Structure 1
Amino acid sequence: MSRIYIFTGKGGVGKTSVAAAHAVLSSGEGKRTLLVSTDMAHNLGDVFERKLGKEPVRQQENLDLYEIDPNYVMEQDFRDILSCIGKMLPDSSGKNMEDFGMVPGMEELFSLLKIADIWDSGVYERIIVDCAPTGETLSLLKFPELLSWYMEKLFPLGKVAMRVLSPVSKRLFQLELPNRQAMSDIERMYLKLIRLQELLKDRNTTSIRLVAMPEKMVVEETKRNYMYMNLYNFNVDGLYINRVIPENIGNPFFDEWLNIQKKYIAQLKESFAELPVCCIPWYEEEVRGVKAVERICEDALSGKEVFRSAIQGGREQFEQVEDGYILTVFMPNAQKEDLEVYQTETDVAIRLGNYKRNIPLPNTLKSYLITSARLEEGKLRLSFRQESDAGTQ
């Protein structure tokens, strides 16, 4: 069965080299493998010391390399979606394809749509994704859900506006409201977004792998990254601690560094006790060229089941209990003081630090209210009761 592995972490921790090592190992196992970069500051070509183009390039048997150019992908593969988006934007006439890159999130969206299309093609058994640093990766992964949420909220208003305002919309609002056919296109785009986010959150298809280093700032960001990934329901099933100084280095200059690294490695293993953890040495030279990548495979990955699909945590779930319902969301490393929960007419909104997620309520719970919220053992549990019952509490 095909699988997608997404590598992310703080900038500078060596995500590309770790992803590259997995790709080389995978191809060596005889699996048709694609190593793809969604980072706008691509450096796959630097690692493999070759120039890459706008389409996948064969590196060796069973391994292709691909640095995604979102503007090229927009023009070549998704003109119909661009046309659809254009109808929703003010004064879109006369703009060329590159102008859509100015819309926040568009580059991320088309990179993901391209990866989904490649996965659908069935050409590759494993797709390994080298992502941008943590914050950009989270924006990349959550964008389909965010955009589809907005589209779902706006569609009823859009259909009313189409009937009532269409004759005067262009003159008064400089906005070309979509006609009925265009609305069908938009609905098709909405379904495509729903399918994309399901692919990314399918624990039997997609794994998120975190790459870290044994340093304080990296450790703290990696813990937050894990927390946010679980807030949005992504399956994080592996941690790679990169650039670990060998204990037998035999140089007193590194004695204090070894003590520092031991402390933070212990912290990482404690915080991520439920995940498989792999340590990768810090080499005396930069990782460039196939031989350097193969060295990582031999030293750190060989003999380990790094491609075993592991399902960690659990998706959010609603559970019926005697006096109502309970919503459980897996949130490791979360602190009560960073958490805010509130309910709207149609959603539960969870704000954690700088990130917010809206979880749609099933129709059954539209007449229910949150009566309590508990954060215990890395799980947020929200209790719901019907309004009449909740009002008596």
Structure 2
Amino acid sequence: MGIMLVTGPGGAGRTTLAAATALSEARAGRRVLLVSEEETTVSDGNLRFLRPRPGSDFRREFLDLQARSSAALDFLGAAPFEEAELTELPGSRPFALLRALRDAAAGDHDLAVVDLPPLPEALALLALPGQLRRYLRRLLPPERQAARALRPMLAQLAGVPMPAQWLYGTAARWEDELAAVQAVIEDPSTTVRLVLEPGPAAARALRDARLGLAVQRLSLDAVVANRILPAGSGDPWLAGLAADQHEHLAELRTAAVALHELPHLGRAPRGAEDLVRLAPARTGDPVPVPEWAVEDRREQDGVLVWHIPLPGAVKEELSLVRRGDELLLTVGAFRRGVPLPGALRRCTVTGAGLVDGDLRVRFTPDPGLWPRTP
């Protein structure tokens, strides 16, 4: 079972293209699930729909957390909420969509097409599970759970409730759910498709998409150039728009990703037949994710080199900080704390360079930590 994540700048037609792809695949005989917050009227016997429910998800999670922490809340004299009082808070939608993504991966269909938010929100969404798991591990380290046996005695001595088992239990449950979603996102069968309308901002959007995905160790499967105007029109106004668009389209064609070019219908899509006309062709096998490889150059230069592929990165936007066993990587608007491979944890960072989108971080073995050879 495969998952196709569809995103793009706002207004580029990503929701329409997600629906078109899902319908086309269903008509080809595949069992397809379309995950989208937008309602659609298209139908096919092989096509099913899943809409994220942020309101109901928020109420369920809030009431569960309230029930688990009832002892502490009672001690503080808090008045619990009833379900009818709860309204969705900002920030609920990303979690509802991640939960829908996890549920989609567990289904019995051949393909799940997921309509993601516009590009900046989509990149933040895909990074969210890993970020939250990192925060949980730092704030509630699993190895400290062994101390929970002492909490009842400490509570009696202090006269106030101590952090209860529900805290670590809740953290463990969140860890499991986030790990499941992250596994879906990083699975080799999960692909990312970017929808663009050729124009002045298209090249920058493509660069941001490739770079943002690369920081998360993901890759872009294909680009869809949407609403292509016909060339050679006798109308000077339309001919000028088409010429400008085709100039930007030529720039997209130089990118090292599969490019699908879809015509402008001259109107908004109407019904299933228009959607099928807009469905991009299949891309074949998923694009392999570039490997973050460690090159052993101890015999030549006395160092190990960690190669991190960052297509489109520029030196001025790049920052690296070693913190413990992590490398804090910042590239423009994107940041990630990356665990170091085991061998590099026994080394010190001695330099870095960026060569044609390949970040090369040099590590020198620490004599006090590196295994001695007989």
**Structure 2-normalised TM-score?**
0.84
Partner of 1:247, secondary structure, is coil
> Per-residue CA shift, 1:69-97, capped at 9, x if unaligned?
22224556x6897569979x998972467
For residue 105 of structure 2, what is the aligned residue in structure 1? 119
Matched residue of 1:365: which SS?
Answer: helix
1:182 positional shift: 5.0
Q: Could you say what secondary structure the match of 1:266 adopts?
A: helix
Quote the Cα distance in structure 2 between the aligned partners of 1:111 and 1:84. 24
Q: Distance in 2 between matches of 1:23 and 1:375?
A: 39
Aligned to 2:19: 20
Unmatched segments (≥5 aa) in structure 1: 50-58
Change in 2 beyond 3 A, CA 1:27/1:340: same
- How many residue pairs match? The answer is 358
Please state if 1:331 is matched with 2:313: no
CA deviation string 1:225-269 (max 9, x = no partner) = 221111111231100001110114442221221221121111111
Aligned with 2:89 (options 79, 97, 102): 102
Contact (CA 8 Å) 2:218, 2:289: kept in 1 or not? Answer: no
| Local SS of the residue matching 1:349 | strand
Alignment of 1:241-390 (within 5 A): 241-270=225-254, 272=255, 274-297=256-279, 301=280, 304-306=281-283, 308-322=284-298, 323-388=302-367
Tell me the alpha carbon deviations over residues 32-60 of structure 1, each in whole angstroms, 9 at most, x when there is no partner: 001111xxxx4343xx37xxxxxxxxx22
Q: 1:234 aligns with which of 213, 218, 226?
A: 218
Match of 1:206 in 2: 190
Higher radius of gyration, 1 or 2: 2
Letter in 2 for 1:311: V
Indicate conservation of the 8 Å contact 1:212/1:219, yes or no. Answer: no
State the distance in 2 between where 1:254 and 1:294 align: 26
- Does the 8 A contact of 1:235 with 1:313 survive in 2? yes
SS at match of 1:225: helix
Letter paired with 1:305: R
Distance 1:151 1:170, change over 3 A: farther
For residues 326 and 120 of structure 2, the distance between their equivalents in structure 1, rounded to whole angstroms, comes to 24
- Alignment check: 8 A CA contact 2:35 2:115 kept: yes
User: Cα distance 1:252–1:321, how it changes in 2: closer, same or farther (>3 A)?
Assistant: same
- What's the RMSD between the two structures over aligned residues? 3.3
1:258-317 Cα deviation digits (max 9, x unpaired): 2211211111111x2x211001111211123212212223xxx3xx333x2322441423
Letter in 2 for 1:358: G
Mapped partners of 1:234, 1:288: distance in 2: 34
Cα distance, 1:125 vs. partner? Answer: 0.7
- Whether contact under 8 Å (2:102, 2:180) holds in the other structure is no
- Distance in 1 (CA, whole Å) between partners of 2:68 and 2:354 is 40
CA distance in 2, matches of 1:84, 1:359: 35
8 Å contact kept, 1:239–1:276? yes
Distance in 1 of aligned mates of 2:9 and 2:285: 24
Change (3 A) 1:243 1:329: same
Deviation at 1:17, TM superposition (A): 1.3
Contact 2:101 2:181 survives alignment (8 Å):
no
What letter corresponds to residue 276 of structure 1 in structure 2? A
5+ residue gaps, structure 2, are 370-374
Cα distance in structure 2, aligned partners of 1:268 and 1:258: 15
The one of 159, 175, 191 equivalent to 1:190 is 175
Q: 1:33 to 1:386 in 2, by over 3 A?
A: same
Tell me if the contact between 2:50 and 2:100 (Cα under 8 Å) persists in the aligned partners.
no
The alpha-carbon distance between structure 1 residues 176 and 193, as it changes in their structure 2 partners (threshold 3 A), is: farther
Equivalent residue number for residue 55 of structure 1? none
| More divergent stretch after superposition (380-389 vs 27-36) | 380-389
Find out whether 1:142 has 2:131 as its counterpart: no
Distance 1:170 1:257 in 2: 74
Q: What amino acid does structure 2 have at the position aligned with 1:60?
A: D
**Matched residue, 1:177:** 163
| 2:221 aligned counterpart, secondary structure | strand
**Counterpart in the other structure of 2:372:** none
Report the equivalent of 2:51. 67
**Conservation of the 8 A alpha-carbon contact between 1:244 and 1:282:** yes
Query: How far apart, CA to CA, are the structure 1 residues paired with 2:101 and 2:145?
Result: 32
Question: Closer, same or farther in 2 for the Cα pair 1:74/1:314, shift >3 Å?
Answer: same
**Which amino acid is 1:150 matched to?**
Y
Q: 1:261–1:103: structure 2 CA closer, same or farther, 3 Å change rule?
A: closer
